[in-house]
Amino acid sequence: MRRLPVYFLIDVSESMIGDPIRQVEDGMAAIIRELKTDPYALETVWVSIIAFAGQARTLVPLQDVISFYPPRFPIGSGTSLGRALQHLMAEMKRDVKPTTYEQKGDWKPIIFLFTDGVPTDDASAAITQWKKEWATKCNLVIISFGTDTDAQLLKQLSENILLFHNADAAAYKHFFKWVSASVKTSSVSVDNNGSGFELVKPDGESLSRIDLTKPVPPARYNDPNFVVVTAKCQNTKQPYLIKYRKVVTDAGIPGLDMSTRAYRLVGAYPVAESYFEMADKGYVSKVHSDELIGSPTCPCCGNQIGFAQCSCNNLLCIGDSAENTCPWCGTTGHYGAAEGGFDVNKTLG
């Protein structure tokens, strides 16, 4: 039986923390549920899930639908498209059976790449390898979750680039329905000796094609829609992320671009230690605390102040007692609100 391998390559960078990553988890579970009820998919579809941030990691190795169990997703720092592609190519090289004189191999793999924002690494070597070794051997569909997609870069990988206007839970549901419908029609196409790749037409509302004939803005190496900072709980030592969403306030003077940029608190979310393993080390940018509106409580221990900075530059939660110990560097001392604000290390998003 020839298999139809379907790979999901999913961006788990920090801007996905909170609602988006939960929606993706639910969405993947829904896809698997759908496919389990479809006779064509059950017969041919094999699924793998790879998560990537600064690093890439296989969450579920390629396996048939019936034994598939949807995973939990980690969160990491950065969006290393280069590493993600390299990881995917290594997996496909190992797992996908090529067609030879002796055997009919697998159908062309279908890859759904979900990404949010722009890559934070130089992906050119991986893209070159992709074009040389894989571009004609699989079908890649890129779905962007952010409006600041680097389409110029992504179009070197695939002509199928779609923009997901992520709004609410209903839009996510709709989107994942589209993905499972596309996998289903592809598995039917395989059964009818078709190409094995049939994307269902996007509705144009929650999901639309990016017009690659139009000029696209240049790449930016930082996700500008969100600011995410890393902190640690001094009681549980657990890391957590504090997420802010960009708001632009208009000074209201006609003809003058006086808008100021600020970021409003979305929430604080505990993350596993694997956060540091998935991270892309060696890149730091700063955001000034004056640009950040709102301060969370600690999501790990409930301390009232979840946003305090140690002299080691790291963020921690602090409680009522005068003495606090930094979970990063071990310094014990007094922490208070700094005069005039301070610079905070910002993650890559």
CA-CA distance, 85 to 123, in Å (whole number)? 8
Instruction: Say whether 43 sits in a helix, a strand or coil.
Output: helix
Note whether 9 binds Zn ion by CB under 5 A. Answer: no
Residue closer to Zn ion, measured from CB, 145 or 335: 335
Residue closer to Zn ion, measured from CB, 58 or 325: 325
239-249 sheet: strands from edge to edge: 292-293, 260-270, 239-249, 226-232, 315-318, 305-309
Note whether 89 binds Zn ion by CB under 5 A. Answer: no
Residue closer to Zn ion, measured from CB, 162 or 301: 301
Residue closer to Zn ion, measured from CB, 247 or 284: 284
Least distance in Å: CB of 308 to Zn ion? 10
Note whether 317 binds Zn ion by CB under 5 A. Answer: yes
Residue closer to Zn ion, measured from CB, 241 or 317: 317
Note whether 266 binds Zn ion by CB under 5 A. Answer: no
Note whether 115 binds Zn ion by CB under 5 A. Answer: no
Instruction: Tokens for 297, please give them.
Output: 């409580």
Stretch that binds Zn ion, among 10-18, 123-131, 148-156, 320-328 (CB under 5 A): 320-328
Burial of 268 (0-12, 13-18, 19+ CB in 10 A): buried
Q: Following DSSP, what letter does each residue of 125-189 receive, concatenated?
A: HHHHHHHHHTTTTSEEEEEESSTT--HHHHTTT-SEEEEE---SHHHHHHHHHHHHHHHHHHHHH
Stretch that binds Zn ion, among 19-27, 152-160, 220-228, 302-310 (CB under 5 A): 302-310
Least distance in Å: CB of 328 to Zn ion? 4
Residue closer to Zn ion, measured from CB, 51 or 317: 317
- β partners of residue 343: 288
Least distance in Å: CB of 156 to Zn ion? 43
Residue closer to Zn ion, measured from CB, 48 or 309: 309
Alpha carbon distance, N-terminus to C-terminus of the chain = 42
Least distance in Å: CB of 329 to Zn ion? 3
Q: Tell me the CA distances in angstroms from 342 to 267, 287, 330, one per residue in order.
A: 20, 9, 21
Taking CB under 5 A as the criterion, the residue among 161, 310, 315, 344 binding Zn ion is 310
Instruction: Tokens for 208, please give them.
Output: 């639309």
Note whether 305 binds Zn ion by CB under 5 A. Answer: no
- Note the residue count of the chain: 349
Note whether 233 binds Zn ion by CB under 5 A. Answer: yes
By CB under 5 A, the count of residues binding Zn ion is 13
Least distance in Å: CB of 336 to Zn ion? 14
CA-CA distance, 348 to 220, in Å (whole number)? 11
Using CB under 5 A as the criterion, which residues of the chain lie in contact with Zn ion when the complex forms? 233, 235, 298, 300-301, 303, 310, 312, 317, 326, 328-329, 331
